[in-house]
Structure 1
Amino acid sequence: MDTEKIISSIAAFDPELYNYFQDELQKQKYALSFMPEENYTSPVSAYMEGSILSNALMTHHDEKTPTGLEAMTVERVNKLFGSEHASIRTSNIAAASRVVFYSLLKKGDTVLSLDCRKKDHCNSESLQFNFVNFSINPKEQKINLDEVEKLAKEHKPRLIIFSPVNYPRIIDYKRLGEIAKSVGAYMWFDICQNVGLVAAKEIPSPVPYADVVTFSTHDALQGPQGCVILCTKKLAAQVDETVITTGHFALKRNILGALAIAFKEANTPKYNEYCHQVVLNARALQKGLEEEGMDILCGGTDTNLVLLNLTKLKMTCNEAGAALRLAGVITKPTVLTTADESTSFDILRLSSLLLTTRGLKEDEFYTLGHIIAMVLKNKNNPEKLEEIKQDVTDIAMQYPLFSDEWVTTKDVLSPVYSGGNLTVSHELAAERKKAVLKKILGFMRK
């Protein structure tokens, strides 16, 4: 049964669920999302997740060593990242983080962490640690590794965490690893949104300098929901034991199959091209924003992430996010702390991952930089926001959820994903695009 027939059948059997599905479809297709934690799943990976493998459960009550499909998937992830050991049994980053804490630390140990990341995952009595923060210098807006080393020598942490969800620049992984070793600390890199760029060698890899590396598989890697823990051989036994004792002993084979495909796709030239485009698009977005007078933190970006500073606009991140949502633009409002406890920034975290997956290129991202700025400048003008929303819709409707350009196996494309299902002809789409660009240029001249 093809996708359209399945959807029609669901509409007849369960109209309540069908209506929810349609609302979500409309939101995804006709809005433009810059959410850092989200991405569209590869159609091939999505097919495997919904395949007959969903009928088979792999349990590990007695078996601790991966075999069969799990062993193949582990082999692929180790090959992709050059890692010594991998666990793929945790389903999300919070669960994986708790596994790492239980494996490496004892209650009361000191943790030196970028922006105190992972502290929110320590929500039980047995995971109570002394967190010490390091962050960007509020003036230079960069991480000063000399200051990190000073903090490490002063506090003698058992663990150092670098999780750059709010930091778009490349850091010296080797130096950070050396700092950890110098004070007898474990070094943990969490690279969730950067993992694709690492896999594609678009940015350097922290794996050679880490004791542990974690990342989710549903965002940058375009796979199913899941999480990977990479570690050294020295830590392999205790990490694996903790995975089992914390209840992560079962995994459905369809998820394994979807992960296996995702890791294989991430090891292709096409995925490398995608990741290169992600960085080009982020820089084009930055350029469009800066031309409108917007302030970009950290001096720009080396990754998929652009941090829009709202301080000069005198609005909170939630106010900015709400205005953009009214215009059909989805963002991540965040308050960014700094190395100075008295200084923080209201920001929007803007990621190029998801819209690059849809097929947008530099010209579109540059235009969207201007559109985002126009929304923020007109946040109290409902009529202008509605006008801009139509422009956003005109852009969004030209693109599928997953561009054919990035698909490795075309035969599994569904009408929901494929560019072939667009309701607008290419000629009409081109005319609408020209109209939107002309309007944007008109706004810029005013």
Structure 2
Amino acid sequence: MTAQPVDPLAGDAEITALLDREQTRRRGSLQMVAAESAASAAVRAAVGSIFADKYAEGYPGHRYHGGVEVVDEVEQLAIDRARTLFGADYVNVQPLSWALANFAVYAAFSQPGDQVLSLSLKHGGHQSHGSRANLSGRWFSVVNYGVRHDTERIDYNQIRELALLHRPRILVAGGTSYSRSWDFAAMRTIADEADCILWVDAAHLAGLVVGGVLESPVPYADVVTVATNKVMRGPRGGLLLARAEHAGALGRAVYPFLQGAPAMHAIAAKAVAFAECRLPAYAEYARAVADNAAGLAAELDARGLRTVSGGTDTHIGVVEVSSLGISGREAARRLAAARIVVDKAVTPYDEAPIAEGSAIRFGSAVLASDGLRPDSMAAIADLMVQAMRTDDPMRHAHLARDVAAIGGDGPTGER
């Protein structure tokens, strides 16, 4: 008789109940938070593996602790796979998070008080690029560039003028709500003219880069930071890619300056994700991510909801909802009542308070993982608009059933 698998959480009723609730929440809903994706079963297995027990401060061949023979090979495998995947000279897989990878860039190339030039938070940037609520905005002198009023796209002439005027130590390309591709060659030229480090924060872009949808920033940047848990569908964690001459500075910035022992289970899971990113199925998924986002933006536009910059080249869409007479926060609440999960957002020149916003931000990665393709976007747009137009709980309950009917055959409801 074949032994039945044992649930290791069977003895913890409280956590098991919470896991079941999360599965229920996700099953039959549309998960459209731009920062989220759906890790594979293999990635999840590596995260929950025996490597979670191992301390391994230092780098392969130069550890503080003993018994590191196997995890040295694990980390080197992850490094080698990332180097092949991205074509980078230097790879560091140890950052415990994307934010820590970002802070490693500051630690490697600047001192407190140095100037940094980055995309404004309201125009799509990220808080780790200089928000006053974040360490970056308190320790560094941050100047922001923005998008054009007319196109809502990056103004490279403005960036050049600001770079030559302020001579920043670091020029940052990338953001968290900017939906268009970047001209990395132009950013490289500006960085060379201003004699500064070009850092590309590719947290939201890397998954589409390795899927062949977007141009890689690696040939242009001094350093690239990556969130392995976003579109890439890996574990929560960060990744550094850089030119060879920056290896020493970045290595010391990660360890011992910012963090101690790496999470070896996460590094094993990163290695798994890097291998999965080279499979033909991943390229098909990445193409679906971009096509779903573009299709949904177009469908919402056809229903009278303007997408910032007129569309998207990525998995992100920022959609203005003020024409419905509601804020972005209220729109997100109404969508959640119909089991459509998005974030509130601001538009580049938004006059609404940041806490309310005039827009929502959606992401298409989980939709693609769940097997949904562009031919489903019209139906999703219809449901979104209907949900945002009403505050009737009964109507939302009815729409939630329609949302569940759209479904998908992906893994997001799995434990």
Structure-2-length-normalised TM-score: 0.89
The residue correspondences of 1:138-217 to structure 2 (distance < 5 A) are 138-217=149-228
| Residue in structure 1 matched with residue 364 of structure 2 by the alignment | 352
Tell me if structure 2 keeps the 8 A contact 1:29–1:400.
no
Q: Would you say 1:245 and 2:256 are equivalent positions?
A: yes
| Contact 2:51-2:264 at 8 Å conserved across structures | yes
The answer to whether the 8 A contact 1:177-1:209 is kept is: yes
Of 70, 73, 76, which aligns to 2:78? 73
Aligned 8 A contact 2:56 2:63 in 1? no
Q: 2:377 aligns with which of 365, 375, 380?
A: 365
Cα distance, 1:247 vs. partner? 4.3
Distance 2:359 2:385 in 1: 13
Q: Are the equivalent residues in 2 in contact too, given 1:170–1:203 (CA < 8 A)?
A: yes
Q: Does 1:97 align with 2:102?
A: yes
Q: CA offset at residue 176 of structure 1?
A: 1.0
Provide closer, same or farther for how the CA distance between residues 161 and 343 of structure 1 changes in structure 2, counting only shifts above 3 A: farther
SS state at 2:96 partner:
coil
- Superposed CA deviations along residues 119-154 of structure 1, whole A, max 9, x for unmatched, are 249845996111111121233211111111112122
Please state how far the C-alpha of 1:91 moved relative to its aligned partner: 1.0
Contact 1:34 1:329 in 2 (8 A): yes
DSSP-derived class of the 1:26 partner: helix
* Residue 22 (structure 1) aligned with residue 34 (structure 2): no
Q: Does structure 1 conserve the Cα–Cα contact (< 8 Å) formed by 2:32 and 2:342?
A: yes
Instruction: Report the count of equivalent residues.
Output: 399
Q: After TM superposition, where is structure 1 displaced by more than 6 Å over at least 4 residues in a row?
A: 340-345
Pick aligned residue for 1:47 from 45, 48, 55: 45
Cα drift, residue 72 of structure 1: 1.6
Letter in 2 for 1:374: Q
Which among 185, 205, 221 is matched to residue 232 of structure 2?
A: 221
User: Is 1:401 aligned with 2:411?
Assistant: yes
> In structure 1, what is the Cα distance between the partners aligned to 2:202 and 2:25?
28
Give, in angstroms, the shift of residue 79 of structure 1: 1.1
**Cα distance change on mapping 1:274 and 1:102 into 2, 3 Å:** same
Partner Cα separation in structure 2 for residue 35 and residue 197 of structure 1? 16
Q: Which amino acid aligns with 2:409?
A: Y
Partner of 2:9: 10
Identity between Structure 1 and Structure 2 (%): 25
Alignment counterpart, residue 335 of structure 1, candidates 346, 352, 355? 346
Deviation at 1:67, TM superposition (A): 4.3
Deviations 1:144-186 (A, max 9, x none): 1111111212222111111232111122110011111101111
Counterpart of 2:34 in structure 1: which amino acid?
Answer: P
Structure 2 CA distance for aligned equivalents of residues 125 and 362 of structure 1: 39
Residues 245-288 of structure 1: CA distance to partner in whole angstroms, max 9, x if unpaired? 23434234332221111101111211111101111111221232
Task: Find the aligned partners of 2:147 and 2:190 in 1 and give their Cα distance.
Answer: 17
Which structure shows the higher helix fraction? 1
CA distance in 2, matches of 1:3, 1:334: 50
Distance in 1 between residues matched to 2:197 and 2:3, nearest whole Å = 48
